[in-house]
Amino acid sequence: MPKSFSDLMREARSQIREVNTAEAVDLVASGARLIDVRESSEWEEGHIPGAVHIGRSYLEQQIEGAVADRETPVVLYCAGGVRSLFSAQVLAEMGYTNLASMKGGFQAWKSEGRDWTKPVVLSKEQKTRYSRHLLIPEVGAEGQARLLGSKALFIGAGGLGSPALLYLAAAGVGTLGIVDFDVVDLSNLQRQIVHTTDRVGRKKVESAAETVRALNPDVTVVPHEEMLTEANVERLIAGYDVILDGTDTFETRYTLNDAAVRAGIPVVHASVFRFEGQLTVFIPNEGPCYRCLYPSPPPPELAPGCSVAGVLGVVPGTMGLLQATEALKVLLGIGDTLSGRLLIYDALDATFSELRLRRDPHCPACGDGAPVASGSGVFTLKGGFGTSTGANA
Amino acid sequence: MSTIRIPPVLRTAAGGSKTVEVAGATVGEAIAALVAQHPALRDQVLAADGSLNRFVNVYVNGKDVRYEQELATPVGPTDTIILLPAMAGGR
Ligand SMILES: [Zn+2]
């Protein structure tokens, strides 16, 4: 005996409990999972916050991944309440015991003036480009959209900055600022892989921007072709969500630290020396800052830069990539960052070790007493300190 | 004997050694033993008044001695002391 649509509806209604929007809200509040069974195109036009999207055509395949326990209460909705009813029948057949279908669906929800959100929609090309991110629950479309809307600032497009620039560009961090006043030197190319042989003599910010653009047109590069100083630091870092410190001088590192603490911007910090690297994350008001770790800089003879002491080219590569990883975690708000921990990498021993860092209550930059006012001269620099950030740094 | 780990920046002054075994019941005694073996390290680790230089952090088993008892922090025979001077290199 063939069944009509109304036969099927009657049958479904006799098997599945229907709830109104208010009842659905109560069920979700007491632990029910809310599943949106509409098409992707409908979901993208707007959905109930906290809902999980499993299109009706993928329901049988994907429901066990989303709701493993068949006793879990599940509320389904679609646009008007029909597809969700039939979807609930399928789940009942699969053994789900606590099912409800929301009457009136998303249309009723919206017309009642209830809260809904519109997900950021990635283009078809972006869905392909970032597909491996979209597959990770911790990133997903929302995280990817967040990255595309994020701004990271690189202090230096050198040994540490090069690999981090490449990977943050590849990851789709939408705006990458680069502070560097240098030009590409042949001796840079042993490690500064964002530059190329045919760009020797050209500005590093230009060279890096060219590489980034070729890798990912989603990314906007903001070149700051100047040296970071007390005078311009506030302007340079304004508006960025995270800063990757890859400079070669203590002067720049302290200047950056103090300004970042004042502006409340996290700094992912790394430094390298020959076969060794140090890495940590300074999150203002949460963890220690650079001055908490090193209250004062060493004298120049104890602090040779890479241009004097040398460095195994891959070591800034390793550390720069770890910086990029921490920066992505900061931007996405996932995992535990290295805030309060110093990671030491010894390439010769092939060991990573970790030291606990403490916030110094007397720290002149972030301590209880005295936030460093701009230009207060807490850290005053004598000429010739450290190494130059010149072409061969 | 406890072990002091010499950071790469200071290794030249320590005759190239990566670690040095020293006797001493406190950080101060251990460092005194270290600079006795390698006098070139003295000015790099200690200030003129004998206190620790502020740009060198000292950790005993991963703990910063600034938040313990500074040079009086006790060290046991199996403890590892890490000297950690600031490094700036990044380019
Ligand atoms: Zn601080």
A306-356 pLDDT, tens digit each: 667 789 999 999 999 999 999 999 999 999 999 999 999 999 999 999 999
Contact state of B89 with A295 under an 8 Å Cβ cutoff: no
Which residues make Cβ contacts (< 8 Å) with residue A188, sequence separation at least 6? A158, A159, A195, A391, A392, B91
**Interface residue ranges in chain B relative to chain A, Cβ cutoff 8 Å:** 7-10, 44, 53-57, 59, 62-64, 66-67, 82, 84-91
Question: Taking residues A21-26, what's their average pLDDT?
Answer: 96
Contact state of A358 with B84 under an 8 Å Cβ cutoff: no
Contact state of B88 with A247 under an 8 Å Cβ cutoff: yes
| Burial label, A294 (beta-carbon count in 10 A; 0-12, 13-18, 19+) | buried
Annotated active-site residue A306? The verdict is: yes
A382 or B71, which is more confident: B71
pLDDT at site A298: 82
User: A335 φ, ψ to 5°?
Assistant: 70, -170
Q: Which residue has the tokens 């830069």?
A: A305
Residues of chain B with pLDDT under 50: none
Shortest alpha-carbon distance between residue A301 and chain B (Å): 10
Task: Judge whether A331 and A139 are in contact, CB under 8 Å.
Answer: no
Shortest alpha-carbon distance between residue A320 and chain B (Å): 9
Quote the CA–CA distance of A391 and A92 in Å, as a whole number. 69
Q: Which residues from B are below 8 Å from A195, CB to CB?
A: none
pLDDT tops 50 at residue A388: no
* Domain parsing of chain B, residue ranges: 2-85
pLDDT at site A70: 96
Contact state of A271 with B88 under an 8 Å Cβ cutoff: yes
pLDDT tops 70 at residue A192: yes
pLDDT tops 50 at residue A393: no
Question: Taking residues A23-50, what's their average pLDDT?
Answer: 94
Asked if A350 reaches chain B (Cβ–Cβ under 8 Å), the answer is: no
pLDDT at site A306: 61
pLDDT at site A303: 67
State in words which class domain B2-85 has. Answer: alpha beta
Question: Taking residues A254-270, what's their average pLDDT?
Answer: 97
Other Cβ atoms closer than 10 A to A362: 10
Give the residue on B whose Cα is nearest the Cα of A296: B55
Q: What's the DSSP call for residue B8?
A: G
pLDDT at site A379: 41
Element (H, E) at A327: helix A314-332
pLDDT at site A375: 41
What single-letter amino acid sits at A218? D
Find residue A204's DSSP bridge partners: none
For chain A, state the CA radius of gyration.
27
Q: Tell me which residues have their CB within 5 A of the ion that is ligand 1.
A: A 289, 291-292, 363, 365-366
Contact state of A296 with B54 under an 8 Å Cβ cutoff: yes
- In the stretch 252-291 of chain A, residues with CB closer than 8 A to chain B read 253, 270-276, 278
CA angle A264, A268, A269 (to 5 degrees): 115
Quote the CA–CA distance of B44 and A33 in Å, as a whole number. 62
Give the residue on B whose Cα is nearest the Cα of A319: B90
A43-70 pLDDT, tens digit each: 989 999 999 999 999 999 999 999 999 9
**How far are the Cα atoms of A31, A40, B83 from residue A103, in angstroms, in the given order?**
19, 20, 68
A97-154 pLDDT, tens digit each: 999 999 999 999 999 999 998 877 899 999 999 999 999 989 998 899 999 999 999 9
SS3 category, A273: strand
Q: Which residues from A are below 8 Å from B66, CB to CB?
A: 358, 360
Predicted confidence band at A390 (pLDDT cuts at 50, 70, 90)? very low
Instruction: Give distance in angstroms: CA of A98 to centre of ligand 1.
Output: 53
Nearest to A345 by CA among A288, A281, A277, A295: A277
Predicted confidence band at A386 (pLDDT cuts at 50, 70, 90)? very low
pLDDT at site A204: 97
Contact state of A273 with B53 under an 8 Å Cβ cutoff: no
Other Cβ atoms closer than 10 A to A188: 28
pLDDT at site A248: 83
Quote the CA–CA distance of A361 and A363 in Å, as a whole number. 6
Nearest to A362 by CA among A283, A295, A266: A295
Token pair, residue A339, equals 């805030």
pLDDT at site A297: 85
pLDDT tops 50 at residue A374: no
A209-252 pLDDT, tens digit each: 999 999 999 999 999 999 999 999 999 999 999 999 998 888 99
